[in-house]
Amino acid sequence: MTPKWLNETKISACNCCELSVSGKKSYLDKTLSGIRQFFAETFLQELNAKKDGLLQKLDPRLKLTAALISIFALSFIHRPAAIILTYVALLLLAFFSKLGVWSFTRRMLLTTGLFTALIILPTVFNISIPGRAILVIYKLKDFHVFGINLPSTLTITDNGLRFFFLFWLRVLTMASVSVLAIATTKREHLLSALQALRLPSFLTMMAALAYRFLHILIKVVENIHLAKKSRSIKL
């Protein structure tokens, strides 16, 4: 009779080789995983483009033209209320296109919203945009760091906050328009629409290359993070 343990194919490490890794994922792990899943479902697997929704039924040329006009018009809007109404309309389009409003909003905030906020964060301070002080960070007579003269007063201004919110909201809405148009259109239809609009051929070629190598870029980013994380694992 063959021993029971000989028929088992499960391989596991011994107690001396077990890794002391916490079962909880860090915020960075969750963010990278969410971004990877978003790009994979939207651009690689084309799951959203295959759904039976409102935007999926529209002609790709009409959809792309409307997206370009919307992005161009948003760059001239300076009232936050108008941009907010536009974003609400985009959420309604996402709902009727079966994209999932909460999932769409969360992923856009984690990608475009977060990175845009980090880039334009210095604009809220008086050293970038003067204005009435809302919050005083520090106020000193002479402030030196490593021999560098810094402003004696650092505050968050009303003009800076107004510019920050308007710029952030505009970029988020523009990116949402682009993602809605791309996510609900199959790759071959999107490239055909670009050619039908008589855009320069190099733009169409760049879009095709971006689609082709996007999965490679995502994989490289994951591998870099995994390699960095593996250095902190204790045996």
Q: What is the pLDDT of residues 71-80, one digit of tens each?
A: 999 999 999 9
pLDDT at position 217: 74
Q: Coil, strand, or helix at residue 22? A: coil
pLDDT tens track for 126-172: 888 988 988 888 777 766 666 666 677 888 999 999 999 999 999 99
Average pLDDT over the chain, rounded to an integer? 78
Q: Is 52 helix (H, G, I), strand (E, B) or coil?
A: coil
Whether the model pTM is above 0.75? no
What's the pLDDT score for residue 230? 76
Residue 27: pLDDT band (50, 70, 90) is: low
> Which runs of consecutive H residues, i.e. helices, occur in the chain?
4-7, 27-39, 60-74, 80-96, 101-108, 114-120, 158-183, 187-196, 201-230
Q: How many whole angstroms separate alpha carbon 14 and alpha carbon 10?
A: 13
pLDDT at 140: 72
The residue-averaged pLDDT of 214-223 equals 73
Rounded to a whole number, what is the largest CA-CA distance in the chain?
A: 89
Tens-place pLDDT, residues 172-211: 999 999 989 888 888 778 777 777 777 777 777 777 777 6
Higher pLDDT, 51 or 85: 85
> Residue 226: pLDDT band by 50, 70, 90 thresholds?
confident
Other Cβ atoms within 10 Å of 68 Cβ, number: 15
> Which is higher by pLDDT, 180 or 212?
180
